[in-house]
Homo-oligomer: A and B are copies of this chain.
Amino acid sequence: MKRFFLSSFWCIVAISCAYAQKNDSLFVKKIYETALTEPKGYEWLEYLCKKIGARLSGSPQAAAAVEFTRQVMDTLGLDRVYLQEVKVPRWTRGRQEKAHVTHSARFATLPLRVCALGNAVGTGAKGLEAKIIEVKHFKDLTSLTHAQVAGKIVFFNNVMEQKHINPFTAYGLAGEARRNGASEAAKLGAKGVIVRSLTPNLDEFPHTGSLRYALNVPQIPAIAIATIDAEALSNALKTEPDLQIYFETHCNMLPDVISHNVIGELKGSEKPEEIISIGGHLDSWDLAEGAHDDGAGCMQTIDVARLFKQLNIKPKRTIRFVMFMNEENGLRGGQKYAQEAENNKEKHILALETDAGGFTPKSIGIGDEAQAAQVRKMRLWQPLFVPYDITLKQGGGGADISTLRPLGTVLSGLQPDANRYFDYHHTSQDNYETVNRREMQLGTATIAAFIYLVAEYGI
C-alpha cells in the first residue's frame, strides 16, 4: 500500500495533472507566506507555555488553558466559539519522587532519576523497598513464574531502538511495558515496576506517560527511570543480582473533575452540514510546559482559524477548531466530542490531528479508512504541495480523533520530522525554547492549505 501511494499512484497524478489550478496554487503560497511572516501561533505558544505552563487534566492550569484558548478564538471573529463539558480524571503527582539503592555500599550513590507514571498509584511516605528482577523485553515476562517475581520490583529495561527511521515505530514497539507492565507484573505478584524511559537517547531525564491498570488486578506503583540510569542499574545488577532499591511516589488519583473541550467554528457557505475537524490536545504532562506535546498542535489549530479569517477564506464546508482535553491520561475529550457528534447526527467528513510536535512538516497522513476514490481525489492536490516539500501519504489520524472513526470520518494527521521528538517527549525538557518558529509555522501553513482544499472541494 505504501508503494501504491508513493509510486504508481503518484504517476497517474503527475501524468494527468491538470488539476493544480493556478488560483489554488497562489492561495496556498499566500497561506505559507502569511504563516511564516506573521507567526501568531508561535506567539500564542509562548503565552501558553510561559504564562500558564504545565496543564495536567483537571488542574487549575488546564482550566486556565481552556480560558486562554477560548479568549484567543473569541478575538478571531469565528462564527461560534464554545466549550464542551467533559469529566476528566484528576491524577496528581504530589511530592517529588525519590529512588535509591539500599543495603549496598558499592551502589549506594547510584543515581536513579525517576518519575511516577501517569495514572499510577503512589507508594506514599512509607515507600517501597524490594529486590529487582530485570526483564529485557516485555514479552520475557511471560516466561517468568510467580515464585520468581512475587514480592519484587520488575525492572522493564526495554530499549527503544535508534535503528528505526521513524522514531514512532520504535516508540510503539518499546511502549508496551509502560502501558501494561504494571498490571502484567502484578499478576505475577510484583510489588512495583520500574520502566526504562521511552527515548532512543541515553539521557538523564525520566520520561513519564500513562499506564493502564487492568481490571481485577492489584494496582502497584510504577515509575519511569532515565535511560542512562537504567543502563547503570542493569550493570549494577550484573555485579549484585540481589540488589534492592527503595522508591517513593506520592501520586494519587482523585475524583473526576469537570473540564472542557474548547471549540471554534467557521460555518460552511455551501455545505455547512459537512464538518471538518482539526485539533490538538490542550492538556499536557506536568513536568514541563507541554510545548511540543501538544501546545504546538493547539496553537497551530487556532492559527489555521486565524489564517482563514485574515486571508478572507470563506470555507464551503464547516470547519471546527478543537482543543481536546485529556488526551494524555484518559482521552475523555476525544470521546466526548465523538459522542456529541453522534448525538447530534453530525456528518464529519474528515478530521485532522496535529500532535506530533512543532517540527518541520513532512507529510499529511491519510488513514486507511479513506476509500480509494477519496484517496484519488486528495492525491490530486499533491502538486500544490511540491514547493513546500510536503507529501500526501498513507497513515493518518491520532488518538483524539480516533473516536470519530465509527462515524465514517476520514482521519488524517500532520506528520512532522520526528527525529527530535523523543529528546523532549514527556520530560522536563518539553519547553517553548525547543520549538522553532519556522518549523512550527510551516506546520500550521500545511494544515491550513490542506484543510482549505478539503473545505473547498470536499472529499
Complexed CA–CA distance, A32 and B163 (Å) = 8
Question: Do A165 and B387 form a contact, CB below 8 Å, given A419-B439, A439-B420?
Answer: yes
| A17: nearest chain-B partner, CB-CB | B7
A46 interfacial contact with B, CB 8 Å: no
Tell me the residues in window 155-197 of chain A with beta carbons closer than 8 Å to chain B beta carbons.
161-163, 165, 167
For A, the interface residue count at a CB cutoff of 8 angstroms equals: 37
Report B-chain residues with C-beta under 8 Å of the C-beta of A200. Answer: 438
> Can you name the residue of chain B whose Cβ is closest to the Cβ of A33?
B163
- Docked Cα-Cα span, A388 to B6, in Å, equals 12
Tell whether A360 is near chain B: CB-to-CB under 8 Å: yes
Q: Residue A10 at the B interface, CB < 8 A?
A: yes
Supposing A7-B17, A11-B10, A14-B10 touch, asked if A162 and B37 sit within 8 A by C-beta, the answer is yes
B201 touching A36, Cβ below 8 Å: no
B201 touches A437 (CB 8 A): yes
**Do the beta carbons of A36 and B162 come within 8 Å of each other?**
yes
CB neighbors of B among A139-163 (8 A)? 161-163
The yes or no answer to A248 lying at the interface (CB within 8 A) is no
| Across-interface contacts of A11 in B (CB, < 8 A) | 10-11, 14-15
Q: For chain A residues 293-334, which have a beta carbon within 8 Å of chain B?
A: none
A436 interface residue per 8 A CB criterion: yes
Residue of B nearest to A34 (CB): B163
Closest B residue to A200 by beta carbon equals B438
Chain A 383-406 interface 0/1 with B at a Cβ cutoff of 8 Å (1 = within): 100111100000000000000000
With A7-B13, A8-B14, A32-B163 known, 20 other A-B pairs at CB within 8 A are A7-B14, A7-B17, A7-B383, A7-B386, A8-B15, A11-B14, A32-B165, A33-B163, A36-B162, A36-B163, A37-B161, A37-B162, A165-B388, A200-B438, A201-B437, A419-B438, A419-B439, A419-B442, A420-B438, A423-B436
* 13 A-B pairs with C-beta separation under 8 A: A3-B386, A7-B17, A11-B14, A11-B15, A32-B163, A37-B162, A360-B360, A360-B419, A362-B389, A419-B436, A419-B438, A419-B439, A420-B438
Q: Closest 3 A-B residue pairs measured CB to CB?
A: A7-B14, A11-B11, A419-B438
Interface, chain A (partner B; CB < 8 A): 3, 6-8, 10-11, 13-15, 17, 32-33, 36-37, 161-163, 165, 167, 200-201, 360, 362, 383, 386-389, 417, 419-420, 423, 436-439, 442
